[in-house]
Amino acid sequence: MKQVNAQLHQWFEDFHLHPEVSWKEYRTTEKITTILQQMRIPFYTFPDIPGAVAEIGQGSEVIAVRADIDALWQEVDGIMQANHSCGHDANMTMVLGALALLKDLALEKRIRFIFQPAEEAGGGALAMIARNVLDNVTQLYGVHLRPVEELPLGKVAPAIHHGAAVFLNGSIKGIDAHGARPHQGKNAIEVLIALQQMLYTLHMSPSTVYSAKLTKVVADGGSINIIPGNAQFSMDVRAQHNETIRELQRRIEQGFERVANMYGVKIDWEWMDFTPGAQVSEEAAKIAEKSIIETYGSDCLAPAVITPGSDDFHYYTIKKPSLQATMLAVGANLTPGLHHPNMTFHTDALQIGANILATTLKNAAKGRIE
Protein backbone atom coordinates (compact mmCIF):
# COMPACT_ATOMS: atom_id res chain seq x y z
CA MET A 1 0.00 0.00 0.00
CA LYS A 2 2.81 2.44 0.88
CA GLN A 3 4.51 1.72 -2.44
CA VAL A 4 1.31 2.46 -4.35
CA ASN A 5 0.83 5.71 -2.40
CA ALA A 6 4.36 6.85 -3.28
CA GLN A 7 3.69 6.03 -6.94
CA LEU A 8 0.45 8.02 -6.84
CA HIS A 9 2.30 11.20 -5.92
CA GLN A 10 4.99 10.58 -8.53
CA TRP A 11 2.40 10.00 -11.26
CA PHE A 12 0.38 13.01 -10.20
CA GLU A 13 3.40 15.33 -10.24
CA ASP A 14 4.30 14.16 -13.74
CA PHE A 15 0.77 14.67 -15.08
CA HIS A 16 0.46 18.00 -13.30
CA LEU A 17 3.71 19.36 -14.74
CA HIS A 18 2.89 18.26 -18.30
CA PRO A 19 -0.72 19.29 -19.00
CA GLU A 20 -2.08 18.89 -22.53
CA VAL A 21 -5.29 20.31 -23.98
CA SER A 22 -8.08 18.29 -25.59
CA TRP A 23 -7.08 16.10 -28.55
CA LYS A 24 -3.40 16.87 -27.90
CA GLU A 25 -2.84 14.48 -24.98
CA TYR A 26 -0.16 12.39 -26.71
CA ARG A 27 2.55 12.87 -24.11
CA THR A 28 -0.01 12.09 -21.39
CA THR A 29 -1.04 8.94 -23.26
CA GLU A 30 2.61 7.91 -23.58
CA LYS A 31 3.11 8.34 -19.83
CA ILE A 32 0.01 6.28 -19.07
CA THR A 33 1.10 3.47 -21.37
CA THR A 34 4.60 3.51 -19.86
CA ILE A 35 3.04 3.01 -16.43
CA LEU A 36 0.86 0.20 -17.79
CA GLN A 37 3.91 -1.48 -19.32
CA GLN A 38 5.75 -1.25 -16.00
CA MET A 39 2.77 -2.92 -14.30
CA ARG A 40 2.61 -5.51 -17.15
CA ILE A 41 -1.01 -4.65 -17.91
CA PRO A 42 -2.40 -5.37 -21.41
CA PHE A 43 -3.55 -2.21 -23.16
CA TYR A 44 -4.17 -0.67 -26.55
CA THR A 45 -4.14 2.83 -28.01
CA PHE A 46 -5.67 4.38 -31.12
CA PRO A 47 -4.03 5.32 -34.43
CA ASP A 48 -5.93 8.58 -34.85
CA ILE A 49 -6.61 10.02 -31.37
CA PRO A 50 -4.89 10.08 -27.97
CA GLY A 51 -6.13 7.90 -25.12
CA ALA A 52 -5.66 4.32 -24.02
CA VAL A 53 -7.65 1.31 -22.77
CA ALA A 54 -6.31 -1.34 -20.36
CA GLU A 55 -7.94 -4.46 -19.00
CA ILE A 56 -7.46 -7.01 -16.23
CA GLY A 57 -9.43 -10.04 -15.04
CA GLN A 58 -11.36 -12.61 -17.03
CA GLY A 59 -14.85 -13.53 -18.14
CA SER A 60 -17.33 -12.22 -20.68
CA GLU A 61 -18.83 -9.42 -18.56
CA VAL A 62 -16.93 -6.16 -18.17
CA ILE A 63 -16.91 -3.56 -15.41
CA ALA A 64 -15.36 -0.29 -16.64
CA VAL A 65 -13.92 2.86 -15.14
CA ARG A 66 -13.20 6.06 -17.04
CA ALA A 67 -10.53 8.68 -16.40
CA ASP A 68 -10.48 11.99 -18.30
CA ILE A 69 -6.93 13.02 -19.23
CA ASP A 70 -7.06 16.50 -20.81
CA ALA A 71 -6.27 19.93 -19.37
CA LEU A 72 -7.75 23.38 -19.87
CA TRP A 73 -6.27 26.24 -21.92
CA GLN A 74 -6.40 29.35 -19.75
CA GLU A 75 -4.51 32.37 -18.51
CA VAL A 76 -2.30 31.62 -15.50
CA ASP A 77 -0.40 34.54 -13.98
CA GLY A 78 -0.76 36.50 -17.21
CA ILE A 79 0.32 33.67 -19.52
CA MET A 80 -1.99 31.55 -21.70
CA GLN A 81 -1.12 27.90 -21.17
CA ALA A 82 -2.42 24.38 -20.63
CA ASN A 83 -3.41 23.93 -16.99
CA HIS A 84 -4.82 21.05 -14.94
CA SER A 85 -7.19 23.27 -12.95
CA CYS A 86 -9.91 20.77 -13.92
CA GLY A 87 -8.36 18.11 -11.67
CA HIS A 88 -8.00 15.54 -14.43
CA ASP A 89 -4.39 14.95 -13.40
CA ALA A 90 -5.79 13.69 -10.09
CA ASN A 91 -8.58 11.69 -11.73
CA MET A 92 -6.26 9.62 -13.91
CA THR A 93 -3.85 9.19 -11.00
CA MET A 94 -6.62 7.72 -8.83
CA VAL A 95 -7.70 5.37 -11.62
CA LEU A 96 -4.12 4.18 -12.14
CA GLY A 97 -3.84 3.72 -8.37
CA ALA A 98 -6.95 1.54 -8.34
CA LEU A 99 -5.47 -0.51 -11.17
CA ALA A 100 -2.24 -1.00 -9.22
CA LEU A 101 -4.22 -2.24 -6.20
CA LEU A 102 -6.33 -4.66 -8.26
CA LYS A 103 -3.90 -6.03 -10.85
CA ASP A 104 -2.77 -9.08 -8.87
CA LEU A 105 -6.20 -10.12 -7.56
CA ALA A 106 -8.28 -12.99 -8.90
CA LEU A 107 -11.29 -11.24 -10.41
CA GLU A 108 -14.60 -12.80 -11.40
CA LYS A 109 -15.14 -10.31 -14.23
CA ARG A 110 -12.97 -8.19 -16.48
CA ILE A 111 -12.26 -4.63 -15.41
CA ARG A 112 -11.60 -2.15 -18.22
CA PHE A 113 -9.74 1.11 -17.61
CA ILE A 114 -10.65 3.83 -20.13
CA PHE A 115 -8.29 6.81 -20.35
CA GLN A 116 -10.39 9.26 -22.36
CA PRO A 117 -9.21 12.42 -24.15
CA ALA A 118 -11.10 15.67 -24.69
CA GLU A 119 -13.62 15.84 -21.87
CA GLU A 120 -13.24 19.60 -21.65
CA ALA A 121 -13.66 20.24 -25.38
CA GLY A 122 -16.52 17.81 -25.72
CA GLY A 123 -16.53 14.84 -28.06
CA GLY A 124 -14.06 12.70 -26.14
CA ALA A 125 -16.63 10.29 -24.74
CA LEU A 126 -18.38 10.01 -28.11
CA ALA A 127 -15.05 9.25 -29.80
CA MET A 128 -14.33 6.45 -27.33
CA ILE A 129 -17.85 5.03 -27.69
CA ALA A 130 -17.37 5.00 -31.47
CA ARG A 131 -14.21 2.95 -30.87
CA ASN A 132 -16.20 0.26 -29.03
CA VAL A 133 -14.86 0.79 -25.51
CA LEU A 134 -18.31 -0.14 -24.13
CA ASP A 135 -18.40 -3.61 -25.70
CA ASN A 136 -19.70 -6.07 -23.06
CA VAL A 137 -19.65 -3.37 -20.36
CA THR A 138 -22.52 -3.60 -17.87
CA GLN A 139 -21.35 -1.07 -15.28
CA LEU A 140 -19.26 2.09 -15.60
CA TYR A 141 -17.64 4.15 -12.86
CA GLY A 142 -15.97 7.53 -12.85
CA VAL A 143 -14.19 9.61 -10.21
CA HIS A 144 -13.69 13.35 -9.75
CA LEU A 145 -12.34 15.71 -7.11
CA ARG A 146 -14.89 18.17 -5.73
CA PRO A 147 -14.48 21.76 -4.46
CA VAL A 148 -14.40 22.25 -0.71
CA GLU A 149 -17.87 23.82 -0.58
CA GLU A 150 -19.24 20.48 -1.83
CA LEU A 151 -16.98 18.02 0.01
CA PRO A 152 -14.11 18.40 2.49
CA LEU A 153 -11.08 16.11 2.59
CA GLY A 154 -12.02 12.72 4.00
CA LYS A 155 -15.55 12.68 2.59
CA VAL A 156 -16.55 10.72 -0.51
CA ALA A 157 -19.97 10.58 -2.18
CA PRO A 158 -21.21 7.62 -4.25
CA ALA A 159 -22.63 9.76 -7.07
CA ILE A 160 -22.40 13.14 -8.78
CA HIS A 161 -25.62 14.42 -10.32
CA HIS A 162 -24.20 16.72 -12.99
CA GLY A 163 -26.48 19.01 -14.91
CA ALA A 164 -26.85 19.26 -18.67
CA ALA A 165 -25.09 22.01 -20.62
CA VAL A 166 -25.08 23.31 -24.16
CA PHE A 167 -23.38 26.28 -25.81
CA LEU A 168 -24.40 28.52 -28.68
CA ASN A 169 -22.60 30.77 -31.14
CA GLY A 170 -24.72 33.31 -32.98
CA SER A 171 -24.53 36.31 -35.28
CA ILE A 172 -26.66 39.37 -35.97
CA LYS A 173 -26.80 40.91 -39.46
CA GLY A 174 -28.21 44.43 -39.44
CA ILE A 175 -27.09 47.67 -41.13
CA ASP A 176 -24.30 50.05 -40.10
CA ALA A 177 -25.19 53.72 -39.72
CA HIS A 178 -23.52 57.03 -38.97
CA GLY A 179 -23.75 58.00 -35.31
CA ALA A 180 -25.64 61.15 -36.33
CA ARG A 181 -28.21 59.19 -38.37
CA PRO A 182 -29.31 56.14 -36.33
CA HIS A 183 -32.59 55.97 -38.24
CA GLN A 184 -30.72 54.78 -41.33
CA GLY A 185 -29.33 51.66 -39.70
CA LYS A 186 -30.28 48.61 -37.68
CA ASN A 187 -28.24 48.68 -34.50
CA ALA A 188 -26.85 45.28 -33.49
CA ILE A 189 -26.19 46.51 -29.95
CA GLU A 190 -29.89 47.18 -29.46
CA VAL A 191 -30.58 43.66 -30.69
CA LEU A 192 -28.04 42.22 -28.22
CA ILE A 193 -29.77 44.07 -25.38
CA ALA A 194 -33.10 42.66 -26.54
CA LEU A 195 -31.62 39.16 -26.54
CA GLN A 196 -30.43 39.65 -22.98
CA GLN A 197 -33.92 40.81 -21.96
CA MET A 198 -35.43 37.83 -23.78
CA LEU A 199 -33.36 35.47 -21.63
CA TYR A 200 -34.89 37.04 -18.51
CA THR A 201 -38.36 36.02 -19.74
CA LEU A 202 -37.54 32.30 -19.88
CA HIS A 203 -39.53 31.23 -16.84
CA MET A 204 -39.43 27.52 -16.05
CA SER A 205 -40.70 25.73 -12.95
CA PRO A 206 -39.08 27.25 -9.84
CA SER A 207 -38.37 23.71 -8.63
CA THR A 208 -36.10 23.18 -11.65
CA VAL A 209 -32.47 24.35 -11.67
CA TYR A 210 -31.60 26.15 -14.92
CA SER A 211 -29.80 29.17 -16.36
CA ALA A 212 -29.25 30.85 -19.73
CA LYS A 213 -26.88 33.78 -20.20
CA LEU A 214 -24.84 35.66 -22.75
CA THR A 215 -21.12 34.90 -22.28
CA LYS A 216 -19.63 36.81 -25.24
CA VAL A 217 -20.75 39.83 -27.28
CA VAL A 218 -18.75 41.48 -30.05
CA ALA A 219 -20.14 44.52 -31.90
CA ASP A 220 -17.71 46.93 -33.51
CA GLY A 221 -18.44 49.31 -36.39
CA GLY A 222 -14.75 50.16 -36.72
CA SER A 223 -15.05 53.72 -35.44
CA ILE A 224 -16.70 55.37 -32.45
CA ASN A 225 -19.10 57.30 -34.69
CA ILE A 226 -20.34 54.20 -36.58
CA ILE A 227 -23.34 52.34 -35.19
CA PRO A 228 -22.57 48.66 -35.78
CA GLY A 229 -25.10 46.63 -37.71
CA ASN A 230 -23.37 43.29 -37.23
CA ALA A 231 -22.46 41.42 -34.06
CA GLN A 232 -21.45 38.01 -32.76
CA PHE A 233 -22.53 36.49 -29.48
CA SER A 234 -22.27 33.31 -27.44
CA MET A 235 -24.50 31.73 -24.81
CA ASP A 236 -24.07 29.21 -22.01
CA VAL A 237 -27.25 27.25 -21.22
CA ARG A 238 -27.56 24.80 -18.32
CA ALA A 239 -30.21 22.77 -16.53
CA GLN A 240 -30.24 19.93 -14.03
CA HIS A 241 -32.27 17.68 -16.32
CA ASN A 242 -32.04 16.87 -20.01
CA GLU A 243 -35.76 17.54 -20.60
CA THR A 244 -35.42 21.05 -19.15
CA ILE A 245 -32.47 22.00 -21.30
CA ARG A 246 -34.26 20.84 -24.45
CA GLU A 247 -37.21 23.06 -23.53
CA LEU A 248 -34.86 25.98 -22.89
CA GLN A 249 -33.32 25.53 -26.33
CA ARG A 250 -36.76 25.56 -27.94
CA ARG A 251 -37.79 28.76 -26.14
CA ILE A 252 -34.49 30.50 -26.94
CA GLU A 253 -34.94 29.76 -30.64
CA GLN A 254 -38.46 31.17 -30.50
CA GLY A 255 -37.04 34.25 -28.79
CA PHE A 256 -34.48 34.71 -31.56
CA GLU A 257 -37.25 34.72 -34.14
CA ARG A 258 -39.31 37.29 -32.22
CA VAL A 259 -36.35 39.62 -31.71
CA ALA A 260 -35.26 39.31 -35.35
CA ASN A 261 -38.76 40.24 -36.54
CA MET A 262 -39.00 43.13 -34.09
CA TYR A 263 -35.77 44.76 -35.27
CA GLY A 264 -35.83 43.64 -38.91
CA VAL A 265 -32.47 41.86 -38.70
CA LYS A 266 -31.24 38.37 -39.42
CA ILE A 267 -30.12 36.22 -36.48
CA ASP A 268 -28.23 33.00 -37.17
CA TRP A 269 -27.18 30.53 -34.50
CA GLU A 270 -25.56 27.15 -33.98
CA TRP A 271 -25.84 24.91 -30.93
CA MET A 272 -22.63 23.15 -29.98
CA ASP A 273 -20.97 20.91 -27.36
CA PHE A 274 -24.13 19.54 -25.76
CA THR A 275 -23.31 17.61 -22.59
CA PRO A 276 -26.14 15.53 -21.11
CA GLY A 277 -27.14 15.53 -17.47
CA ALA A 278 -26.38 12.59 -15.22
CA GLN A 279 -28.38 9.38 -15.31
CA VAL A 280 -27.15 7.74 -12.12
CA SER A 281 -27.74 4.02 -11.65
CA GLU A 282 -29.16 3.13 -8.24
CA GLU A 283 -27.39 -0.24 -8.38
CA ALA A 284 -23.98 1.24 -9.21
CA ALA A 285 -24.38 3.98 -6.58
CA LYS A 286 -25.24 1.36 -3.93
CA ILE A 287 -22.07 -0.56 -4.75
CA ALA A 288 -20.06 2.66 -4.47
CA GLU A 289 -21.74 3.54 -1.16
CA LYS A 290 -21.00 0.11 0.31
CA SER A 291 -17.40 0.38 -0.87
CA ILE A 292 -16.86 3.79 0.75
CA ILE A 293 -18.03 2.42 4.10
CA GLU A 294 -16.05 -0.79 3.68
CA THR A 295 -12.84 1.12 2.95
CA TYR A 296 -12.96 4.04 5.41
CA GLY A 297 -16.08 3.62 7.54
CA SER A 298 -19.44 5.36 7.61
CA ASP A 299 -17.88 8.69 8.67
CA CYS A 300 -16.34 8.93 5.19
CA LEU A 301 -19.67 8.58 3.39
CA ALA A 302 -21.29 11.77 2.10
CA PRO A 303 -24.64 12.26 0.34
CA ALA A 304 -24.69 12.36 -3.44
CA VAL A 305 -23.41 15.64 -4.88
CA ILE A 306 -25.79 17.74 -6.99
CA THR A 307 -23.99 20.27 -9.16
CA PRO A 308 -24.86 22.52 -12.12
CA GLY A 309 -21.51 21.60 -13.66
CA SER A 310 -21.44 19.11 -16.52
CA ASP A 311 -19.31 16.20 -17.69
CA ASP A 312 -19.29 14.21 -20.93
CA PHE A 313 -19.10 11.02 -18.82
CA HIS A 314 -22.88 10.92 -19.11
CA TYR A 315 -22.76 10.36 -22.87
CA TYR A 316 -21.89 6.75 -22.08
CA THR A 317 -25.32 6.16 -20.55
CA ILE A 318 -27.07 8.20 -23.25
CA LYS A 319 -25.55 6.03 -25.97
CA LYS A 320 -25.99 2.78 -24.02
CA PRO A 321 -29.18 3.11 -21.92
CA SER A 322 -28.74 -0.32 -20.32
CA LEU A 323 -25.45 0.78 -18.79
CA GLN A 324 -25.40 1.18 -15.01
CA ALA A 325 -23.16 4.11 -14.15
CA THR A 326 -22.13 6.48 -11.40
CA MET A 327 -19.27 8.89 -10.75
CA LEU A 328 -17.68 9.01 -7.29
CA ALA A 329 -17.06 12.43 -5.74
CA VAL A 330 -13.86 12.78 -3.73
CA GLY A 331 -13.41 15.53 -1.15
CA ALA A 332 -9.97 17.14 -1.26
CA ASN A 333 -10.25 20.58 0.40
CA LEU A 334 -10.06 21.88 -3.16
CA THR A 335 -9.88 25.68 -3.43
CA PRO A 336 -10.69 28.24 -4.81
CA GLY A 337 -12.66 26.01 -7.18
CA LEU A 338 -12.54 23.80 -10.26
CA HIS A 339 -11.28 25.66 -13.36
CA HIS A 340 -9.75 28.43 -11.26
CA PRO A 341 -6.25 29.01 -12.70
CA ASN A 342 -4.70 28.62 -9.23
CA MET A 343 -6.76 25.64 -8.12
CA THR A 344 -5.09 23.52 -5.45
CA PHE A 345 -6.09 20.58 -3.25
CA HIS A 346 -4.80 18.25 -0.54
CA THR A 347 -3.00 15.36 -2.24
CA ASP A 348 -4.02 12.90 0.50
CA ALA A 349 -7.21 12.68 -1.55
CA LEU A 350 -5.32 10.71 -4.21
CA GLN A 351 -4.84 7.73 -1.91
CA ILE A 352 -8.39 7.97 -0.54
CA GLY A 353 -9.87 8.03 -4.03
CA ALA A 354 -7.68 5.22 -5.35
CA ASN A 355 -8.47 2.95 -2.39
CA ILE A 356 -12.24 3.50 -2.56
CA LEU A 357 -12.30 3.16 -6.33
CA ALA A 358 -10.37 -0.13 -6.12
CA THR A 359 -12.86 -1.48 -3.55
CA THR A 360 -15.78 -0.30 -5.70
CA LEU A 361 -14.48 -2.02 -8.83
CA LYS A 362 -13.71 -5.20 -6.89
CA ASN A 363 -17.21 -5.27 -5.42
CA ALA A 364 -18.76 -4.55 -8.81
CA ALA A 365 -16.81 -7.46 -10.27
CA LYS A 366 -18.36 -9.69 -7.59
CA GLY A 367 -21.75 -8.70 -8.96
CA ARG A 368 -23.53 -8.43 -5.63
CA ILE A 369 -24.16 -6.14 -2.67
CA GLU A 370 -23.91 -7.82 0.73
Is the per-residue pLDDT at 2 higher than 90? Answer: no
Mean pLDDT calculated for residue range 50-73:
97
Mean pLDDT calculated for residue range 14-22:
98
Is the per-residue pLDDT at 210 higher than 90? Answer: yes
Mean pLDDT calculated for residue range 235-264:
97
If one compares 206 and 23, the residue with the highest pLDDT of the two is 23
Instruction: Provide the pLDDT for residue 367.
Output: 65
Is the per-residue pLDDT at 236 higher than 90? Answer: yes
Is the per-residue pLDDT at 370 higher than 60? Answer: no
Residues in the chain: 370
Handedness of CA 292, 297, 300, 302 (dihedral sign): positive
Residues 6 or more apart in contact with residue 89 via CB below 8 angstroms: 12, 15, 16, 19, 71
Name the pairing type of β-strands 72-76 and 79-83: antiparallel
Handedness of CA 276, 300, 139, 67 (dihedral sign): positive
51 in helix, strand or coil?
coil
Instruction: Provide the pLDDT for residue 273.
Output: 86
pLDDT in tens, 7-17: 999 999 999 99
Is the per-residue pLDDT at 217 higher than 90? Answer: yes
Residue 55 contacts residue 137 (beta carbons within 8 Å)? no
Banded model confidence at residue 368, pLDDT cuts 50, 70, 90: low
Instruction: Provide the pLDDT for residue 1.
Output: 66
Name the pairing type of β-strands 156-157 and 164-173: unpaired
Residue 10 contacts residue 16 (beta carbons within 8 Å)? no
Mean pLDDT calculated for residue range 44-54:
98
Is the per-residue pLDDT at 104 higher than 80? Answer: yes
Instruction: Provide the pLDDT for residue 193.
Output: 98
Which amino acid type is present at position 355? N
Mean pLDDT calculated for residue range 213-223:
96
Residues 6 or more apart in contact with residue 79 via CB below 8 angstroms: none
pLDDT in tens, 107-151: 989 999 999 999 998 899 999 999 999 999 999 999 999 999 999
Averaged confidence pLDDT in the chain: 96
Banded model confidence at residue 259, pLDDT cuts 50, 70, 90: very high
Mean pLDDT calculated for residue range 227-252:
97
298 in helix, strand or coil?
helix
Instruction: Provide the pLDDT for residue 308.
Output: 86
Mean pLDDT calculated for residue range 315-344:
97
Is the per-residue pLDDT at 216 higher than 90? Answer: yes
Rounded Cα gap, residues 103 and 236, in angstroms: 42
Q: What is the DSSP string of 238-292?
A: EESSHHHHHHHHHHHHHHHHHHHHHHT-EEEEEEEEEEPPP---HHHHHHHHHHH
Is the per-residue pLDDT at 369 higher than 60? Answer: no
pLDDT in tens, 283-319: 999 999 999 999 999 999 999 999 988 999 999 999 9
Instruction: Provide the pLDDT for residue 272.
Output: 92
The CA-atom distances, in angstroms, between 341 and each of 20, 81, 83, 137 are: 15, 10, 7, 36
What domains lie within the chain, and their CATH numbers? 2-162+277-366 (3.40.630.10), 164-275 (3.30.70.360)
Q: For residue 76, which phi and psi values (nearest 5 degrees)?
A: -125, 115
